[in-house]
């Protein structure tokens, strides 16, 4: 099939699992179709190939040390379901479906809006439920899910720290943000709100900053949702 080298990665926004069953070696096994939305720095750092039917592309190879590999959310054989550039002017709000498009059209979408530093991609893969997961009690599954959640949160924060971005800068360098000392405006179950300033092209402006609380399940996701609502207001 057609091939193309790309370089790019950052953090997962959402995941969706759909379960079904399949017969394998005469046995009925549980299979999960997992979709993960990932925000990846450009260049992506992955090689793509056309599917046999000529519609859509799959990940054929991850560049060692590339941004897609660093995201920890994109794997070889993943299907690219949708994508859109982000982080710059003119970036679309919605992902553009591409799982039925020919290779060249998908590459055109991935190369669109070069002024945007990142690309949002939605990938899909099928995974068989492992025997150890099937054997766990609901309480044990909940515990494992929470462990995986905190591991993912640590990976996200590490990626943001390395890229100079934080969760509350809306794409601006973290060094452009200053929190005023002793100016906690409020505190809730999921985060704290501070008074601060932000350097822009027009000068310094006053801003309200919110930080998700460490160790609170779902705090980062709630903050991300609030930022998207604020950005679209």
Smallest CA-to-CA distance from 171 within 224, 104, 98 is with 224
Cα(68)–Cα(8) distance, rounded to whole angstroms? 5
Tally DSSP H helices, then E strands, for the chain. Answer: 5, 9
C-alpha of 141 from chain center:
23
Structure tokens at 25: 């070696």
Cα(42)–Cα(112) distance, rounded to whole angstroms? 12
Annotated binding site: 210
Annotated binding site for ATP: 210
Smallest CA-to-CA distance from 153 within 212, 205, 109 is with 212
C-alpha of 165 from chain center:
14
134 by DSSP, 3-state: which? helix
Smallest CA-to-CA distance from 78 within 15, 20, 146, 23 is with 15
């Amino acid at each position: 099939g057609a091939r193309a080298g790309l370089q790019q990665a950052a953090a997962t926004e959402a995941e969706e699992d759909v379960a079904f069953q399949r017969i394998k070696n005469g046995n009925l096994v549980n299979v999960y179709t997992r979709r993960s939305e990932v925000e990846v720095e450009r260049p992506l750092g992955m090689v793509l190939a056309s599917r046999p039917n000529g519609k859509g592309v799959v990940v054929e190879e991850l560049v060692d040390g590339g941004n897609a590999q660093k995201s920890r959310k994109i794997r070889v054989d993943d299907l690219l379901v949708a994508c859109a550039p982000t982080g710059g002017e003119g970036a679309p709000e919605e992902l553009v479906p591409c799982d039925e498009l020919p290779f060249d059209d998908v590459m055109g979408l991935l190369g669109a809006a070069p002024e945007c530093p990142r690309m949002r991609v939605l990938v899909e893969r099928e995974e068989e439920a492992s025997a150890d997961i099937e054997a766990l009690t609901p309480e044990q599954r909940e515990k494992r899910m929470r462990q995986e959640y905190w591991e993912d949160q640590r990976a996200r924060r590490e990626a943001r720290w390395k890229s100079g971005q934080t969760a509350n800068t809306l794409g601006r360098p973290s060094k452009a943000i200053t929190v005023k000392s002793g100016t906690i405006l409020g505190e809730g179950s999921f985060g704290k709100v501070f008074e601060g300033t932000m350097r822009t092209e027009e000068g310094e402006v006053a801003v309200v900053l919110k930080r998700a609380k460490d160790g609170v399940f779902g705090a980062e996701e709630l903050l991300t949702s609030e930022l998207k609502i604020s950005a679209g207001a």
